[in-house]
Amino acid sequence: MAPIMANDDNAVNKLIPHLFRQEYAKMTAVLSRYFGWQYIDVAEDIASEAFLKATEHWLQQGIPANPSAWLYTVARNKAKDYLKRNQLFETKIKAAIKATKTTTDIEFEFNDTIIADSQLSMIFVVCDPINPAPAQICLALQILCGFSVEEIANAFLCHAETIKKRLQRARANLRTEGFQLRSLSQAEISTRLDVVLKTIYLLFNEGYFSQREKELVRKDLCSEAIRLTLLLAENNLTNIPRVHALLALLCYQSSRLNARTNDAGEAILYDDQDRDLWDPFLIEKGNYYFWKAFGSQELSTYHLEAGIAYWHTTRTGDKWPQILQLYNQLLMMEYSPVSAINRTFAFAKVYGNEQAIKEAAKLDLKENSYYHGLMGFLYTGIDAALAVTHYQQALTLTSSLVEKKVFKDKIAQLDSNVQ
Amino acid sequence: MNEFVFIFRNSVSEGARPSPEQMQQLLTEWMNWMGSIAAQDKLVDRGNRLSMSEGKTVKPGNVLTDGPYTEVKEFINGYTIVKAATIDEAVALARECPILKIGGFVEVRKIVSPEDNS
């Protein structure tokens, strides 16, 4: 990698935070592992200082051939300095890790194995059920993905202050929990893993269905979710079927990201998408993990959702009866309003809109914009006035400008048909 | 919200056994029916089917007979648990059960809660 020219200040300033966000997360994870998770603040400070030093140095000298190694060396030295200057090691850490070594003996290795293991432990530390789901996602973004507070606030359409408070509260909770995850038993991993997978799933959804007014997708969030799941899939402790199923699901959904919005940022619905824009590499990865996921008898909601995504992404034929049955099973395993609505849509594709309207009438989801969107679709061709009414309801209930436009277009279409 | 058990009963008919296509059709309808209940967020437990081949009846006096079906004309096929505000609401769900089309019927029983007297 050629060094960026020294006078390219702006480029370097932009490049460093974005490009090395993941390196920052890795450094924090490894340092936290050495210091103990309760000293994550110290680890983050050292990582930040290393980046600060990098920025100063690289602005003058250009970015080196191996930036990661450079960063890790700086972090390593700073960590050692910190321990030397601080009573922290002698009094607390030494006792905690029952070490017989002196400060100079701790080498702060940054090899691949240690990085992967530290990141894995960090995932479990961060995805702690003591915090509500939104807080977990924020923590995951900050600590696992290296997002800044501003970037997180942007993703959630929140003020930076709100995010800051949320993070403070969440971290305080973790501190009282004790950050006790030095080594998890297989049973603990299994129970905590469900929380982890849920957090990653929600993180992906944030990116995929972003409520952010002006953007339909936040690709960053989607790719971070995949990266974290990949970490789990590649570690012997956590490469179980439902992890593979989740990974397959995320790959299938991601394969369509480029086709879901046009250049103006407007939503393109599934039937209108240009299939050439679907990413074949991601679809193939999805298939690979999908097959892996069925190695045992285990059937999770992620298996079912991956199955549905598989049908949507790879097969064009008579897929709707299969999809309907998968939604039946999914709902029987775990109810969600979105699944109920999607199931009814599949029902319509198999048995027609009139039958589906009877099914939809049984759903008690009148405050849900997607429900009214579905009803609008079902009544199209049957009762235009009712269709318009439902689409208007959907319009008022959604906060997404992109979705509002979709519903407005539908209403305009129905109105023009009447004339 | 109250919970209700659906007890599915059918009788062995000496007549024609259903073809594989009919079985597939029945299975699809059954899953659609359960899926519909689940979509309304009214499914508590999809329950279980009860074996036809492995069943015994234990009676007083050390009497043990094979299965229920030589004694009972309408034997229990299985059960499911749903939730509903009233028994009428539960009955409305049961009316759509595919077993009604093949000569079976659904017994709807409220699960007794501590507040009940019956």
Q: Cβ A331–B31 below 8 Å, yes or no? A: no
Q: Which residue has the tokens 């492995």?
A: B54
- pLDDT at position B72 is 61
Q: What is the mean pLDDT of residues A138-155?
A: 83
Q: What torsion do the CA atoms of A389, A393, A396, A400 make, to the nearest 10 degrees?
A: -110
Is the pLDDT at A136 greater than 90, yes or no? no
Class at the top of the CATH hierarchy for domain A340-419: mainly alpha
pLDDT cut 70: percent of chain A above it = 83
Instruction: List the helix and strand counts (H, then E) for chain B.
Output: 2, 6
pTM (2 decimals)?
0.82
Three-state DSSP at B54 gives: coil
CA nearest A361 in B: which residue?
A: B40
* Beta carbons of B81 and B111 less than 8 angstroms apart: yes
Residue to test with chain A: of B25, B27, B31, most A Cβ within 10 A: B31
pLDDT, one tens digit per residue, over A200-244 is 998 898 788 765 544 555 777 888 899 899 989 998 888 899 999
Is the pLDDT at A278 greater than 90, yes or no? no
CA nearest B92 in A: which residue?
A: A362
Encoded tokens for A59: 């602005």
Encoded tokens for A315: 């097969």
Contact with chain A for residue B24, Cβ under 8 A: no
- Which of B31, B40, B43 has the CB atom closest to A362's CB atom? B40
Contact with chain A for residue B34, Cβ under 8 A: yes
What separation in angstroms does the CA of A28 have from each of A23, A75, A399? 9, 9, 36
pLDDT, one tens digit per residue, over A248-275 is 999 999 998 877 776 666 667 767 777 7
Q: Smallest Cα–Cα separation from A144: which of A126, A129, A131?
A: A126
Class at the top of the CATH hierarchy for domain B2-110: alpha beta
Encoded tokens for B13: 């008919």
* Mean pLDDT of chain A, nearest integer: 82
Separation CA B93–CA B34 (nearest Å):
9
Q: What type of residue is B13? A: S
pLDDT, one tens digit per residue, over A360-400 is 999 999 998 899 999 999 999 899 999 999 999 999 988 77
- pLDDT at position A195 is 84
CA neighbours within 13 Å on the CB side: how many for A331?
28
Contact with chain B for residue A301, Cβ under 8 A: no
pLDDT, one tens digit per residue, over A295-352 is 888 899 999 999 999 998 876 778 999 999 999 999 999 999 999 999 999 999 999 9
- pLDDT at position B57 is 86
CA nearest A363 in B: which residue?
A: B40
Domain A1-110 fold: Rna Polymerase Sigma Factor; Chain: A (1.10.1740)
Residue to test with chain B: of A328, A350, A351, most B Cβ within 10 A: A328
- pLDDT at position A363 is 95
**Enclosing H/E stretch for B45:** strand B43-49
* Beta carbons of B99 and B77 less than 8 angstroms apart: yes
What residues form DSSP beta bridges with B59? B63
| Distance to chain A for B15, nearest Cα, Å | 30
Is the pLDDT at A28 greater than 60, yes or no? yes
- pLDDT at position B36 is 97
Contact with chain A for residue B35, Cβ under 8 A: yes
The domain segmentation of chain B, as residue ranges, is 2-110
Stronger pLDDT, A59 or B27, i.e. the higher one: B27
- pLDDT at position A87 is 67
- pLDDT at position A415 is 86
- Which of B39, B41, B43 has the CB atom closest to A344's CB atom? B39
- pLDDT at position A297 is 83
- pLDDT at position A90 is 61
Local confidence pLDDT in tens for the 118 residues of chain B: 899 999 999 876 655 677 889 889 999 999 999 999 999 999 999 999 998 788 888 999 998 888 776 556 778 889 999 999 999 999 999 999 999 988 889 999 999 988 886 6
- pLDDT at position A97 is 59
Number of other CB atoms surrounding residue A375 within 10 Å? 26
The domain segmentation of chain A, as residue ranges, is 1-110, 113-238, 240-263+271-316, 340-419
Stronger pLDDT, A152 or A19, i.e. the higher one: A152
Q: Smallest Cα–Cα separation from A380: which of A350, A409, A405?
A: A409
Q: What is the mean pLDDT of residues A179-197?
A: 72
Is the pLDDT at A119 greater than 90, yes or no? no
